[in-house]
Amino acid sequence: MSDEKWQDAGDVVELSTRPLQQIMVGRNKVAISFVDGKFGAVHGACNHVGGPLGQGTLDGDYIVCPWHNWKFHRVTGVGEPGFEEDRVPRFECKVENGRLLVSQAAVTSRQRKPHAKHPLDRDTIREPGPIRVVGISTTVMDTDHPRYSTSEALLESALDHGRSKHGLQTRLVKLREKSFRACEGYYSKSAQACTWPCSISQMDAKDGMNDVYENLVFWGDVVLIATPIRWAAASSLYFKMAERLNAVQNQITLKNRVMLKNKVAGLIVTGGQDNVQAVVGQMMLFFGELGMQFPQFPFIAHSRGWTAEDMERNVEMVQNSEELHDGARALLDRCLDLSGRLQAGHATEFRRAGRKASGIEKRRHGESS
Ligand code: FES
């Protein structure tokens, strides 16, 4: 049935059982739709970052991309109203002898509407200048009626020290003051769907994580992360942030792009519950996987532990403990020492073998990595 112009896409009865599907026609991935007795055929790769349009859904005559919801007309390939300059290639199609025939070549070309570049979509080049210190507090509290946070107080002592003793620029990011959406699992659709800048940042101009990305990925050399312990784990806001940082780690998986280079992390963990070492262990694993480095003795912690619930005394103890505040200052000093040496050194080569998604499994099955 195939000739020079037409390719056989399959049995009409079978193809008409589903309103939208992605199939290979010759060498093309094609999104075949069937609505009100009429077939449509457009290229199956979305203009955004290549999402499989034929695996999406239909909104009237528009295909909704399954990755980030861009829409294209199922017959013409033209973007939804307001985005007509975005167009995916259209194929002709016809029914003959019970078979659906699709043109070998697209009859329109792909066209991309120029989209404004997201401010985070830039190279991670360190601006010249002295070491810069970022503190990230993951403590949750009622911002209208603030309370004393032991982890944040120690973080502030360290940042004060950076300014007063070392004359450095510091910034404090309080996650509770940032409004941001939880990770919505784009990675779970496909590694390629988890983008940089984060898919949510691209969709939501007011995304509060932008400030975290700016400071962690671009501005800071030393990052101190402070968390309380909640039921033997870091705070819920810590994990909400960590999940959104998957977009940073995924650049290594997708492109061998290590965005965090020569950056040092120090950790501050306090609370009324036990499990300091496990909390720190998780945090070190995570920030290590992002590419951050740690000084000797990379954390300080304090916990009332298992034997007491007198948290009002805990606050008093931390407030009045010169030792703990000195410990926070010394943690920063260790981070600065390592940071200075990293800035003066050379970047080491990064090899993927043995690392996450290095491609060994794919090669074993005869595919390219
Ligand atoms: S909307 Fe299609 S790949 Fe992002």
Nearest Cα to 37, choosing from 100, 90, 116?
100
Which H or E run includes 95? strand 93-96
Taking CA 336 as the corner, what is the angle to CA 333 and CA 338, rounded to the nearest 5 degrees? 110
Dump pLDDT digits (tens) for 89-125: 999 999 999 999 999 999 999 999 988 999 999 999 9
Residue 17 reports pLDDT greater than 60:
yes
| Bridge partners for 60 per DSSP | none
Rounded-to-integer distance, Cα 313 and Cα 307, Å:
13
Atom 1, ligand 1: residue with shortest CA distance: 68
Candidates 140, 195, 133, 179; CA nearest to 158 is 133
Region 127-153 average pLDDT: 96
- Which of 42, 43, 49, 113 to mutate to test ligand 1, by most ligand atoms within 8 A of the CB atom? 49
Distance, in Å, from the CA atom of 301 to the CA atom of 267, rounded to the nearest integer, reads 8
In this prediction the pTM is 0.91
Instruction: Give ∠ CA 141-147-151 in degrees, rounded to 5.
Output: 80
CA dist 298 → 222, 282, 303 (Å):
12, 13, 17
The continuous run of DSSP H or E covering 329 comes out as helix 322-344
CB of 72 sitting under 6 A from ligand 1 = no
**What is the pLDDT confidence band of residue 369, given thresholds at 50, 70 and 90?**
very low
The string of pLDDT tens digits covering residues 234-292 is 999 999 999 999 999 999 989 999 999 999 999 999 987 788 999 999 999 999 999 99
Answer whether 71 contacts ligand 1 (Cβ < 6 A). no
How far is 282 from 117, CA to CA, in rounded Å? 34
Residue appearing with tokens 């120090």: 266
Percentage above 90 pLDDT, the chain: 84
Our answer on whether the CB atom of 46 is closer than 6 Å to any ligand 1 atom is yes
Kindly state if the Cβ of 70 falls inside 6 Å of ligand 1: yes
CB atoms within 10 A of CB 130: 13
User: With a 6 A CB cut-off, is 48 part of the ligand 1 pocket?
Assistant: yes
pLDDT of 368 over the 50 cut: no
In the sheet with 57-59, reading across from the earlier edge strand, the strands are 57-59, 62-64, 71-73
pLDDT over 50 (residue 73):
yes
CB under 8 Å to 318, separation ≥6 — which residues? 150, 153, 154, 270, 302, 324
> How far apart, in whole angstroms, are the C-alpha atoms of residue 186 and residue 363?
25
Select from 55, 57, 59, 68 the residue to mutate for testing ligand 1; criterion: most ligand atoms less than 8 Å from CB.
68
d(CA 227, CA 149): 9
Ligand 1, atom nearest to 47 Cα:
2
From the list 263, 207, 288, 179, the residue with the least C-alpha distance to 198 is: 207
Give the pLDDT confidence score for residue 272 in this predicted structure.
Answer: 79
**Taking a C-beta distance cutoff of 8 angstroms, is the pair 233, 227 a contact?**
no
Distance CA 230, CA 212 (A): 22
* 181: amino acid identity, one letter: R
Domains and CATH numbers, the chain: 6-103 (2.102.10.10), 132-346 (3.40.50.360)
In this structure, the number of other CB atoms found within 10 A of the CB of residue 343 comes to 13
Which pLDDT value is given to residue 357? 77
In eight-state DSSP terms, residue 215 is I
pLDDT value for 346: 74
Q: Who wins on pLDDT, 271 or 305?
A: 271
DSSP string, 271-305: ESSS-HHHHHHHHHHHHHHHT-B--SS-EEEEE-T
